[in-house]
């Protein structure tokens, strides 16, 4: 679980890590009124 709305498996994590390697901004925001969650921070939280 990366956020309350986003669940990932190992394949997803590998794809996310590849995207993050390009050093582009990458956030999760389900709807405009929600706060943005940085994907790198969310990924760290599931790797603990």
pLDDT tens column, 5-40:
899 999 999 999 999 999 999 999 999 999 999 999
Q: Given a cut of 90, is residue 47 above it in pLDDT?
A: no
Residue 44 CA, distance from chain mean position: 9
Say what the pLDDT of residue 14 is.
95
The residues, any chain, with a CB within 8 Å of residue 6's CB and separated by 6 or more, are 28, 42
Rounded to whole angstroms, how far apart are CA atoms 19 and 32? Answer: 23
Name the band, by pLDDT with cuts 50, 70 and 90, for residue 46: confident
* pLDDT at 48 (0 to 100): 56
């Amino acid at each position: 679980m990366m956020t309350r709305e986003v669940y990932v498996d190992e394949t997803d994590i590998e794809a996310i890590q590849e995207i993050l390697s390009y050093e582009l901004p990458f956030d999760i925001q389900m709807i405009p009124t929600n706060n943005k969650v940085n994907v790198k921070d969310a990924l760290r939280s599931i790797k603990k």
